[in-house]
Amino acid sequence: MAIIENKKDQTYTLYTKNTMYQMKVNEIGMLIHTYYGNKMEYMDMSLVNRTWGTAFSPNVQDVEKYISYSHEKQELSCAGVGDFRLTQMSVRNTDGSLGCEPRFVSAEITSGKYSLSGLPAFYGEEAQSLKVTLKDKVHDVYFHLMYGVFEEKDLITRAVIVENKTDAKISLEKALTVTLDFPDGEYDMVYFHGRHARERMLERKRIEHSKAVVSSIRGASSHMQNPFAMICDKNATEDYGSVWGLAFVYSGNFEICAEKDHQEKTRLTMGINHENFKFEILPNDVFICPEVAMVYSGEGFGKMSNSFHKAIRENLCRGEFKNAVRPVLINNWEGTYFDFNADKLVSMAHDAAKMGVELFVMDDGWFGKRDNDRCALGDWIVNEKKLQGTLKNLSERINKEGLKFGIWFEPECISADSDLYRAHPDYAFAMPGRTPQVSRNQYVLDFTRKEVRDNIYNQLVKILESTKIDYVKWDFNRHITDLYSISLPTERQGEVFHRYILGLYELLERITSKFPHILFESCSGGGGRFDCGMLYYMPQVWTSDNTDAIDRLKIQYGTSFAYPVRTMGAHVSVCPNHGNARTTPLKTRGNVAYFGTYGLELDVTKMTDDEKAEIARQIKEFKKYYDLIQYGDYYRLLTPFHPEESLYCAWQVTKDDKSEALVCAVRYESDASTAPQYVKLKGLKENAWYTVNDSEEKYLGAALMNIGLFLEYDFISYPSRLYHIVEVK
């Protein structure tokens, strides 16, 4: 059993393969967090993980023993009742008071993973679920704390359902999903900041006596911050130390806060950003806090990452493309931008097919009057003049070249210069009496409204049913401003951000369910919505609009801490690169793109014969290593964030049985009279012998891991090498 109830101690202990999570009902019915860390034999951890009081921490008056909300380690922390630290819930009661004191009511253990109505969540029949119900001391407000345990993957999920059983409405002014109190000690917070074309840059800071906050208030998880963070020992590395990773299964505004309190204890909270948030719960209704997924590793970042990778691949991504081989695609965007017609696209498909490409994707510019980014969003009607016929004609021409056919949409936004906006300007977000703000010449549609979603749904269905379409790229190229919905009364405008995301999820569920044979890829100006929420509906994400191979080293390295290779869109593009004018070897561009969903983003008709031959070689090599890359254990070997340590970035994927590995090393800086460079491999058998790139020499696994693999140096800018490691049987 993954979940054990000890009625004598009043504890609930969650066991995974390597970890243990425990909570306890104390003498006044508070649910106390007692432990989350390495697996060990059962005991009531409150006996060793004790709390104590200090001055100016108010006493709960239920019992004579001194107990204070301000120093107890709580599974559900609430504002307004004497906990002056970071809190999870802020409840405005029916009488107008702000405060809540949850007490234990019941617990229920069930087989299989719980689900959340209208929200993405991890799933799996192999999991177990625990539902702990708490009730406020005074009001009939209930909190159902949901826990899912994936024993083999070391994954634990949490969610909260707030239920109003009073006879009047209540309001949530903060509704986070997780409070996590850590043992005493010194911890760092690791998170991933960035901007457009520079997503998920790793940053690490010491948690001090002030709030460390990672958040988004943009209506999307955003390029600027990612809804994933880690708390770790101050000396934790890839292979050493305690690491707690937490991922928010949500695509909108979020906050992750960490703080060391007055008693030198560290607390973390995670959930929906409470800025511009206030949600009413009517009598006999509920509010569901989105899920948080947690992994603990006692062996550093690498083990934590691989647990997330496996769980996301197997228990978050859905549909027939969850495990199917993804096609090698070419996207015409950087090859043509808006300047194309059907003949041009077919000529690109013709040349691409000869190199082994399997899918052609027509990007922005095929609909309405869309010859630039200033018009036509919202008018999902084929421009038959530009396409020299119907969409069906074009798709059939592409199919005759031997390629599948895909298409680009941006369903959440609308141009002022569009027939839909002229007919329904109220469909876009706008505040009364104010001119709405424009970003990329477009507005955001009010997806809180069913009639708006239905309009877009019907337009998309008409296109997707008009011909055989195998792939959809779903883009979102701005963030939300002018936050106001005409569908809600004044007092409920604080619900708009969250209701927008619920509306988006409802539309995605309808579309992906109706077209299960289409591969959907999420995009938001590249990686502006790379999160577990979107991966539930679409199994891959365009990692970044930055296709430069050297910039991608940091982007893909940062992304890998939570998200598997299989979810990362990665393409070979032209040089000089359109984003930064850098020129890199075509081989290096390919080697970097292998570790994602390899594809092309250029005009192949302008390539030389030698370049075409190199792409054909790359496609064959990528397919040769496909299963190893997509499903192998992933190891980060040399970081691109510290050039003072190495001028190389290197990583490795290894087969589960340790019989085969593939290492990629890219030199991203140069110096004269370069020193020899070795990289220590990981995840091999110590006493087994291996060959490298089919050489006659044999290398002991322990030697490759303790001494390292010598990195051969090509005297060119930005060289790269692949090293195929195979066990000698």
pLDDT tens track for 385-423: 999 999 999 999 999 999 999 999 999 999 999 999 999
Res 595 pLDDT > 80: yes
Of 635, 664, 707, the closest CA to residue 699 belongs to: 707
What's the CATH number for 3-315?
A: 2.70.98.60
What pLDDT, on the 0 to 100 scale, is given for residue 345? 98
Answer whether 178's CB lies under 8 Å from 75's CB.
no
Who wins on pLDDT, 31 or 51? 31
Res 701 pLDDT > 90: yes
Structure tokens at 68: 């204070």
Verify whether residue 727 is a known catalytic residue.
no
User: Mind listing the pLDDT tens digit for each residue in 532-567?
Assistant: 999 999 999 999 999 999 999 999 999 999 999 999
Average pLDDT of the residues in 205-231: 97
What pLDDT, on the 0 to 100 scale, is given for residue 101? 97
Please, where in the chain does CATH 2.70.98.60 lie? 3-315
The one catalytic residue in 299, 373, 611, 621 is: 611
CA torsion through residues 544, 549, 553, 557, sign: positive
Answer whether 332's CB lies under 8 Å from 341's CB.
no
pTM above 0.85, yes or no: yes
pLDDT band at 501, cuts 50/70/90? very high
User: Mind listing the pLDDT tens digit for each residue in 475-494?
Assistant: 999 999 999 999 999 999 99
The one catalytic residue in 531, 545, 614, 633 is: 531
C-alpha 536/C-alpha 530 separation (Å) is 11
Res 62 pLDDT > 80: no
Res 54 pLDDT > 70: no
What pLDDT, on the 0 to 100 scale, is given for residue 71? 87
CA torsion through residues 665, 670, 673, 675, sign: negative
Average pLDDT of the residues in 101-110: 98
Res 213 pLDDT > 90: yes
User: Mind listing the pLDDT tens digit for each residue in 502-538?
Assistant: 999 999 999 999 999 999 999 999 999 999 999 999 9
Verify whether residue 603 is a known catalytic residue.
no
Please, where in the chain does CATH 2.60.40.1180 lie? 634-727
Res 66 pLDDT > 90: no
C-alpha 722/C-alpha 595 separation (Å) is 11
- 12-26, 269-283, 693-707, 708-722: least confidently modelled range: 708-722
What pLDDT, on the 0 to 100 scale, is given for residue 716? 92
Kind of pairing between the strands at 568-573 and 540-542: parallel
Res 272 pLDDT > 90: yes
Structure tokens at 607: 């390539």
Answer whether 559's CB lies under 8 Å from 527's CB.
yes
Contacts of 656 (CB under 8 A, 6+ apart): 631, 632, 633
Contacts of 136 (CB under 8 A, 6+ apart): 91, 100, 101, 102, 103, 142
Q: Name the percent of the chain lying above pLDDT 90.
A: 93
User: Mind listing the pLDDT tens digit for each residue in 152-169?
Assistant: 999 999 999 999 999 999
Average pLDDT of the residues in 111-130: 98
Q: Is 65 exposed, middle or buried (0-12, 13-18, 19+ CB in 10 A)?
A: exposed
Question: Helix, strand or coil for residue 433?
Answer: coil
Res 454 pLDDT > 90: yes
C-alpha 126/C-alpha 492 separation (Å) is 40
- SS3 of 200-269: EEEEEEECCCCCEEEEECCCCCCCCECCEEEEEECCCCCCCECEEEEEECCCCCEEEEEEECCCCCEEEE
Average pLDDT of the residues in 445-456: 98
Please, where in the chain does CATH 3.20.20.70 lie? 329-411+450-476+519-630
CATH number belonging to the domain at 329-411+450-476+519-630, selected among 3.20.20.70, 3.30.70.141, 1.10.3720.10, 3.30.70.2860: 3.20.20.70
Order across the sheet with 648-654: list the strands.
633-638, 648-654, 660-667, 720-727, 689-692, 699-700
Topology given in CATH for the domain delimited by 634-727: Immunoglobulin-like (2.60.40)
